[in-house]
Structure 1
Amino acid sequence: MEIANQMHIIVEGLKKVGEDAKAINYYPNYLGYKSDMVMNIKSFSSILEANEATKLLASRIIADVDVFHYHFGTSLTLDGSDLPLLKELNKKVVMHHWGSDVRIYSQAVKLSPFVNVKCLKEDAIKRRLEQLAKYIDTCIVSDYELYEYVKDYYSNLVIIPQAIDLNEFNQIEEPSKNKKITIVHAPTSPEIKGTIHILQAIEMLQSKYDFDFKLIQGISYEEAKKTYVNADIIIDQILIGSYGLCSIENMSFGKPVVCYISDFMQEKYPRELPIISANPTNIKEKIEFLLNNRDCLSDIGMKSRKYAKKHHDINKLSRRFIELYQVD
């Protein structure tokens, strides 16, 4: 499963350093992420037919593959029948968890009082993790928030930050000071991002300030990037307490990013993190400060680009993946 273009970025990074790697995506969507192979599970007449197709694919490729890097709690077959086989064959298997596949509300709310989750069936998440850990020793997460949900399951747990290809995100020069400030919010999951609170804040501020606001939804990944280029301020999420790919991509563009960073995660992230932290209780005031202090946007943007380059460049992170694959 492709999450936030990460599978594609990781695979392309591995290819650049000479590794033979391929990405397979079973769940293509309107975002249009690239992949070496796409098998649309929804195109089959039944889940049974789809499962048989994935099992057939698995039977064709397992013998020739040394490392299986799975994402979002899914594997090569829909029913997970590949997992015991891969363990028996002593193949290297890595599970990469990304967020709502492991985020358990009773734990998440201790880290962020504002958090919302996609799945409230905590027992189902726990059972899934227990099942995966029977066959998979190594797990990757991108930060210490996700670490909290999986730390009791896998024997080898590694934190590798989200990756980005900086060549696709050239820093944008500061727009003319004569034009109105443009604020962009592009939620893929509005209820998780806190979109309703952001819209309420924007509505109140528009009665007092002259600025443009764009709510971006339902367009492709490439089209969304074009919108980011013309933005002055990006608002990501204000509930979860950690930043994701939307923040990273826009920091790479040299954009100031507003995103909630919880007290727990403030202690875990690098001290130079330039994100403007905001939550539902102060999002209006944080945006208003930026509207009144436009001169600071350029400096925040430069620090943002520097941060993304230092911590999220796939050219630096590829080696970490390879080293992990090589561990017995």
Structure 2
Amino acid sequence: MTALRVLYAPRDIAGQPGTWARGLRALGAHAEVWSFGEPAFGLVPDRVWDADRLLADPAYRWEVLDRAVRGFDVFHFQYGRSLLNAHEPLLPALWDLPLLRSLGKKVFMHFHGSDVRLRSVHMEREPDSYLKDAVVDEVRIHAMVEIARRHCDRLFVSTPGLLDYVPDAELVPLALDAADWAAERGPEPRVPVVVHLPSKRATKGSHLVDAALRPLHGEGLVEYRPLSGLSHREVKAEFARADLVVDSLTIGDHGMVAVEAMACGAIAVAHVHERNRARVPGCPVVEAVGADLGEVVRRLAADPDERARLRKESVAWVARRHDLAQVARQLRDAYREPPVPVVAGRPDWPVVEGRGRITALEAETSRLRQALGRQGGLTATVPPRSARDRVEANPRVHLLIRRIDAARKRARVKLGALRKRG
């Protein structure tokens, strides 16, 4: 059987594509991760493409497409984005999905969270929903999912709760190398270390975590360590010495933080909605919401036997369900399935730039101005729009300036080369 050639793009979301690639390579496949723009959190993809040049230089975009089509048979996209749609100013989003299918490629779309969560649905189920003050373009999300549904071989989601929004998707558990994350643990400490490491504080309900755990820290019952901005290596070190790790209280799903914590032998604490616990029976993540987090942590701090039991259960759960070897086999089997024919007509294409983007930004600006005006009971002064703001509000002018900047950069490079020759 011919070896699979798999491309993960356009970002290494939460390090998952990089982990899948390692797992696929161990199974004999060729797999690469491409990032359009510099990766975050110290991740190292196989190739980084210049985001500004992708937007301004059609020839550069063609080079990306040409290399991808020649080099890979399976395209596994992330976060509702495809190979080039985020950098194509003239064509609609996901325009390249039917093109890749027409060239005989397998195409998959993987959803990870806010790319498909609908505010209207989430608010009904989660009283502390992180989407309470968010601007969510639900029309765009519906259209984007429908396009992916019609033109992809299969849809994937990374956590159980996302099946509420893409019920026909396949759940692919968050993956890591369980052995690589394993940490030596001594006796249960008298004062456990509690870590909270949100990727975004507003998304994970960090204000609720702080309110619940700072008093416990002050009483000397726990050592509370709120952290942010760490590299992948630093996260592993912190989780290895943590006893409890608090993940999200406002989503209703556990994420990568909880899985990594459990792999290290720490106890994960998060709000996981009962609908999602039913989808993955036996999930050892300790349940807590903002209102009872303090009592949950207080109880665990006082019960070393329960902590020891949860540690053992959590490590076994991750090894059984989330290890990259297991997840890689699941993906390999999906990639080998016969291609799914596109039988439906073309749906409406979503507007993700231009007027729709400006409308969302204007709504967010209005919300922020109102919030600033309430601070301290004083009327805050909102600075006038800068020249940059006015330029970025006009996509055509923004693109023209990017093209001019790119031309200047190329001219400077050529001038420097001529001076060296002289």
- TM more than 0.5: yes
Q: How does 1:229-308 map to 2 (within 5 A)?
A: 229-270=240-281, 272-308=282-318
Structure 1 match to 2:180: 168
- Structure with larger Rg: 2
Query: In structure 1, how many angstroms separate the alpha carbons of the residues matched to 2:63 and 2:95?
Result: 11
| Matching of residue 129 in structure 1 with residue 163 in structure 2 | no
Distance 1:52 1:119 in 2: 35
Does the 8 A contact of 1:30 with 1:218 survive in 2? no
Residue in structure 2 matching 1:70, options 72, 77, 88: 77
- Amino acid corresponding to residue 163 of structure 1 in structure 2: A
**Counting helix residues as a fraction of each chain, which structure ranks higher?**
2
Q: Give distance in 1, aligned partners of 2:17 and 2:108.
A: 13
Residue matched to 1:53? 60
Q: Taking structure 1 as the reference length, what is the TM-score of the superposition?
A: 0.91
Structure 1 residue runs of 5 or longer lacking an equivalent are: none
Asked whether the 8 Å contact 2:188–2:304 carries over to 1, the reply is: no
1:16 corresponds to 2:26: yes
Contact 1:185–1:234 (CA under 8 A) maintained in structure 2: yes
Matched residues in 1 for 2:179 and 2:160: separation?
27
Q: TM-score, normalised by structure 2?
A: 0.71
> Which of 108, 111, 119 is the aligned partner of 1:97?
111
Deviates more, 1:110-119 or 1:29-38: 110-119
C-alpha offsets along residues 104-142 of structure 1, whole Å, 9 cap, x if unaligned?
111223343322236522122222223333422410112
Quote the residue 2:136 is aligned against: 120
Q: Distance in 2 between matches of 1:2 and 1:119?
A: 25
Match of 2:171 in 1: 159
Could you give the per-residue CA deviations for residues 71-119 of structure 1, whole angstroms, max 9, x where no partner exists? 1111111334432211211310000111111111112233433222365
Q: CA deviation at 1:212?
A: 1.6
8 Å CA contact 1:171, 1:305 repeated in 2:
no
SS of equivalent to 2:169: strand
Give distance in 2, aligned partners of 1:236 and 1:320: 26
Match of 2:121 among 86, 107, 113: 107
What letter is aligned with 2:295?
E
Give the Cα–Cα distance (whole angstroms) in 1 for the partners of residues 76 and 53 of structure 2: 28
For residues 96 and 60 of structure 2, the distance between their equivalents in structure 1, rounded to whole angstroms, comes to 13
Flag structure 2 segments of 5+ consecutive residues without an equivalent: 1-10, 89-93, 339-422
Instruction: Give, in angstroms, the shift of residue 158 of structure 1.
Output: 1.6
Whether the 8 Å CA contact 1:10–1:318 is kept in 2: the answer is: yes
Residues 1:194 and 2:205 aligned together? yes
Equivalent position amino acid for 1:298 in 2: A
Aligned-pair CA distance for 1:216 = 1.2
Deviation at 1:27, TM superposition (A): 3.9
SS in structure 2 at match of 1:23: strand
Q: Any conservation in 1 of the 2:156–2:169 contact (CA below 8 Å)?
A: yes
How much has 1:294 moved relative to structure 2?
2.9
Q: 1:158-212 CA deviation, whole Å, 9 max, x = no partner?
A: 222111111321133135636x321100000111111000001112223333432
Check the 8 A contact 1:73/1:97 in 2, yes or no. Answer: yes
CA contact (8 A) 2:221 2:298 kept: no
- Superposed CA RMSD in Å reads 2.0
Give structure 1 regions of 4+ aligned residues with deviation exceeding 6 angstroms: none
Change (3 A) 1:240 1:45: same
Write the letter of the residue equivalent to 1:262.
H
Question: Which of the numbers 151, 156, 173 marks the counterpart of 1:140?
Answer: 156
Secondary structure in structure 2 of the residue aligned to 1:5: helix
- Whichever residue aligns with residue 286 of structure 1, its letter is V
Tell me the secondary structure at the aligned position of residue 150 of structure 1.
coil
CA distance in 1, matches of 2:259, 2:15: 12
- Number of aligned residue pairs: give it: 319
